[in-house]
Amino acid sequence: MFSIRTFWNDLRNNRTMLLVSIALFVIGIVAGVWLAVPLGQYLEKQLEQLSVVTEQLQQSNHVELSYFILIFFNNAIKSILIIYLGALLGILPVIFLVMNGMMIGFLVYTRSTEGVDLVTLIVKGLLPHGIIEIPAILIAAAYGLKFGKLVLDSLTTWDSAARYRLKTERRQFMKSTVTAAFWIVIMLLVAAGIESTITYWLVRG
C-alpha cells in the first residue's frame, strides 16, 4: 500500500489534476509579480508575519531544530488538510495554490527591485529545499482538486450505473490518498531537513 510504485502509479492516474495544480501555481506566481503594486501591502504583511516568527526562532537554543519542527509540521499539516478539504468542491486547493504562488512571485519581484541578486535568492534561498517541497505541495493540491471533482461529479450525476462507477472510483481514490499522504509527509520531512540546515546556512552565509 505504501510502496513508491503504488504512489507513482496513483500519481500517473491523477496526472490531469497535477497539471492543473502546476498551472494554478504558475498563475499565482505571475499574479504575484503582476499585482505586486496593488496587493503589495497585503502580501508584505504576510512576509512580515513570517519575519516575526523567524526572529522568535532565532532566540531559541537550537535554532536549526526549531526551524525544522516549525517548517515540517506547518507544511505537513497544511498539505494533508488540503487533500481532504478538497472535498469542498476543490475550492481550498485552488486558493492554496494561487496564494502560495503569489507569495513566491511577490517575494522574487520585490527583492529584485531592492537590488537583491535573483540568482543568489533562487539558488540559495529557494532551490535547495524547494525542489522537493514545491512538488510535494503540488501533489497534495492535485489530490485535493481530484477529491473536489469527485464530489462535484457525485452531486451532478443521476444515472445509476454512472453513480456506481463513481462510488468505486471514490473508494479507490480514498485509498490512494493514504499512500499519497504518507509519501508527501516523507518528502516534506526531507525538505524541512534541507531548509533548516542547508538553506539556512546558505542564506546566513
- Residue-by-residue pLDDT tens, the chain, 205 positions: 788 999 999 999 999 999 999 999 999 999 998 988 787 777 777 777 777 777 777 777 788 888 899 999 999 999 999 999 999 999 999 999 999 999 999 888 888 888 777 777 787 778 888 999 999 999 999 999 999 999 999 999 888 888 889 999 999 999 999 999 999 999 999 999 998 888 878 877 6
Its pTM stands at 0.91
Cβ–Cβ < 8 Å for 108, 33: yes
Dump the DSSP string for 28-50: HHHHHHHTTTTTHHHHHHHHHHH
Number of domains in the chain: 1
Residue range of the domain that includes 18: 4-204
Res 205: pLDDT:
61
Evaluate whether 51 touches 111 at the Cβ level (below 8 Å): no
* Residue of 170, 181, 192 lying closest to 68 (CA atoms): 192
Q: Which of 167, 142, 141 is nearest to 154 (CA)?
A: 167
pLDDT score, position 122: 81
